[in-house]
Amino acid sequence: MMGIATSSLHAFHKSNGSSISNSFCRLGLQFASVHSNSFSNDDHRPPSKFQKVTNLEDALNLFDEMTQRRPLPSVVKFTQLLNSVSKMKHFSSSLDLFKQMCAIGVPVSVYSMSIAIRCCCRLYRTKDGFALLGCCFRRAVVPNVFIFSTLLDGLVLEDRILEAERLFKKLIKHKLCETNVVMYNTMIKGLCKFGSNDIAIGLLRLMDERGCKPNIVTYNTIIDSLCKDRMIDDAFKIFKEMVFDKGILPNVITYNSLIYGLCLLGRGDEVSKMLKEMEDEKISPDLQTFNILVDAYCKEGKVDEAEAVIDTMVEKGVSPDIVTYNSLIDGYCLRGEMTKARKLFDSLTSKGLVPDVFTFNCLLNGYCKNLEIEEAMHMFHEIKRKGLKPDIVTYSTMLQGLYRVGRCGDACTLFDEMRAHGQLPNQCTYRIVLDGLCNNHQVEEALSLFRLVDDSKLNSDIAVYTILIDGASKCGKLDTARSLFHELTIKGLQPNVWTYCTMISGLCGEGLLTEAKHLFLKMDESGCPPNDVTYRVLLQGFLKNQHYDDVEMLLQEMDGRSYSLDASTLSLLIDQTAAGSLDRSMLKLIGRLVPKELMGAPS
């Protein structure tokens, strides 16, 4: 049995051969091949002080002290210290200690090896983790399910889903180690992260068939993923299966995922029901539950309710943390209440909380949206002054702010700076930059950037195309807009409602109403039915071009679909009726299309 396993491992090792040996060299590790007899056998002694080590400095001092002792403390003691440093998330330091342990001849065990591998993985250096796996083979340390699960998790962390799947299948096929529920859960997490909820559910069924019972973590992983993907009904189906078929009781994590999913869809009534259910089940809401609620209220603009949630949590003895206040700051910013946002930000220190990059990003975004670009700039410099590192969101937010006030040159400099600081622009950054250029009459620059960046994700992003179509048509380059729209079809990309609206608006702007109407009719055929915005865009096009034939028909269709008018379209309709261009008999129909919030508002 062992022989087969070892040879299979060898085959596996071979397939990763070159990268392993390279990484191994980089790690520069030397291992003790034989157990040294210079270690004490102090396992029977009461726990020594290192088990109480709570900070890195103490741990490192203790390690130094331990290396001076003769005989050397036991292997177990060294490994326990290694574990506590890695538990403190000081992965680099933990790896350094591991290297030193090897250098002074502390024998490598499967346990210390798994800690070291975990550190590599958490540092996004899974490749080095595999290098250590290679060392296991050389040192006759038989890798176990802990080591393989950790490596699998590392691949998932780095979004290397295909390699993760390959490893997972190999482990099972060749029985390289015992598989357990944690390993299945890790693979399920990877599949969910990759957006393959169906395959993840398939694996849930498969593990059950193979006699590996799914547990609460398995179900929570899938429920959470479905909730995040707005598939709340499917999430509830799985939830019911877990509770009623498997008899697994939900915990606070399960409820938090479901509450998050409901909030995402604005289904507040059901959130209250879930909270009630938790109370009945004697499951107390925790910090994260409250944070989900605070954030949901803030996003809806209901800051007062969010503040009330914070009061409740404090009453219940749950202290708000930086995440809670980040959501609240964001809520204030969204309402343009920058003074309140700033005041809260300034009070964080007195609450014993340290602002993080999220905090700064929220404030930065608030200042940018309120066109207070100097304040935003100030915040941007504060980030570095506080010893934090601006991330991709910081740069993207700042770029958007600069474009919004027309400072294209500064935006360009910042765009270069971000790349120089190792922050690679993502799809969202590109959308912001292209949109910024287009809105500042630099469509040519936007188009050249788009053509220059040969990125498959960017070049197949429907939002990017829509931004460019909009930019091109707004600056009179309708032919460019048309050819971009045509390019979509060639690439097999499906225009969405926004794309159609943009193109229709562009055509209307040039008075090309027949072409606009043709495109409008094409939407239903293409499986992308027009929404209220599309109707408004086309109506405005007709009205502005004094083309009244189809207006009544469009209004009737809107009525049939229960769509409503917005203020500007309504105003155009009323003006043209007053001018006698539209028949007054249409007023009744128009009245039906006025939403409640516009009733009584001056037109």
Partner DNA sequence: TTAGGGTTAG
Q: Which of positions 296-325 make contact with DNA (CB under 7 A)?
A: 299, 321-324
The residue range among 141-149, 306-314, 371-379, 568-576 that interacts with DNA, by the rule CB under 7 A, is 141-149
Q: Is residue 426 close enough to count as binding DNA by CB under 7 A?
A: yes
Q: Is residue 564 close enough to count as binding DNA by CB under 7 A?
A: no
Q: How far is the CB of 271 from DNA (least distance, A)?
A: 13
**Binding DNA by CB under 7 A: which of 185, 197, 440, 569?**
185
**Binding DNA by CB under 7 A: which of 292, 379, 447, 503?**
292
Q: Is residue 362 close enough to count as binding DNA by CB under 7 A?
A: yes
**Cis before residue 355, ω within 30 degrees of 0?**
no
The residue range among 131-139, 174-182, 230-238, 271-279 that interacts with DNA, by the rule CB under 7 A, is 174-182
Between 458 and 594, CB nearer to DNA: 458
**Binding DNA by CB under 7 A: which of 23, 400, 473, 505?**
400
Contacts of 431 (CB under 8 A, 6+ apart): 461, 463, 464, 467
Distance in angstroms (rounded) separating the CA atoms of residues 345 and 354:
10
Q: Is residue 392 close enough to count as binding DNA by CB under 7 A?
A: yes
The residue range among 129-137, 272-280, 389-397, 436-444 that interacts with DNA, by the rule CB under 7 A, is 389-397
Q: How far is the CB of 601 from DNA (least distance, A)?
A: 27
The residue range among 2-10, 108-116, 200-208, 558-566 that interacts with DNA, by the rule CB under 7 A, is 108-116
**Binding DNA by CB under 7 A: which of 128, 165, 295, 470?**
295
Contacts of 166 (CB under 8 A, 6+ apart): none
Residue count at the site for DNA (CB under 7 A)?
71
Q: Is residue 183 close enough to count as binding DNA by CB under 7 A?
A: yes
The residue range among 15-23, 147-155, 376-384, 512-520 that interacts with DNA, by the rule CB under 7 A, is 147-155
Distance in angstroms (rounded) separating the CA atoms of residues 495 and 601:
35
Distance in angstroms (rounded) separating the CA atoms of residues 89 and 216:
25
> In this structure, are residues 271 and 262 in contact, taking their beta carbons and an 8 Å threshold?
yes
In the beta sheet, which residues pair with residue 39? Answer: 72
Q: Is residue 31 close enough to count as binding DNA by CB under 7 A?
A: no
> In this structure, are residues 446 and 471 in contact, taking their beta carbons and an 8 Å threshold?
yes
Q: Is residue 83 close enough to count as binding DNA by CB under 7 A?
A: yes
Distance in angstroms (rounded) separating the CA atoms of residues 414 and 103:
45
Q: Is residue 59 close enough to count as binding DNA by CB under 7 A?
A: no
Q: Is residue 118 close enough to count as binding DNA by CB under 7 A?
A: yes
Site string for DNA, 500-539 (x = CB under 7 A): ----------------------------------------
CA proximity to 76, closest of 24, 115, 128: 115
Q: Is residue 180 close enough to count as binding DNA by CB under 7 A?
A: yes
Subset of residues 257 to 286 that bind DNA, contact rule: CB under 7 A = 257, 260, 286
Between 286 and 552, CB nearer to DNA: 286
**Binding DNA by CB under 7 A: which of 77, 127, 342, 431?**
431
Q: Is residue 414 close enough to count as binding DNA by CB under 7 A?
A: no
Contacts of 242 (CB under 8 A, 6+ apart): 216, 219, 223, 248, 250, 254
Site string for DNA, 438-477 (x = CB under 7 A): -------------------------x--------------
Distance in angstroms (rounded) separating the CA atoms of residues 108 and 95:
13
Residue in the structure block whose two tokens are 């290679």:
134
Q: How far is the CB of 392 from DNA (least distance, A)?
A: 5
Residue in the structure block whose two tokens are 């048509």:
473
Distance in angstroms (rounded) separating the CA atoms of residues 238 and 258:
11
> In this structure, are residues 379 and 370 in contact, taking their beta carbons and an 8 Å threshold?
no
Q: Is residue 8 close enough to count as binding DNA by CB under 7 A?
A: no
Contacts of 517 (CB under 8 A, 6+ apart): 538, 550
CA proximity to 234, closest of 226, 242, 222, 224: 226
C-beta pairs of 310-313 under 8 Å, 24+ apart in sequence: 313/287
Three-class SS of 133-146: HHHHHHCCCCCCHH
> In this structure, are residues 106 and 75 in contact, taking their beta carbons and an 8 Å threshold?
yes
**Binding DNA by CB under 7 A: which of 23, 84, 94, 291?**
291
**Binding DNA by CB under 7 A: which of 96, 356, 445, 550?**
356
Which structure tokens are listed for 426?
Answer: 């993502």
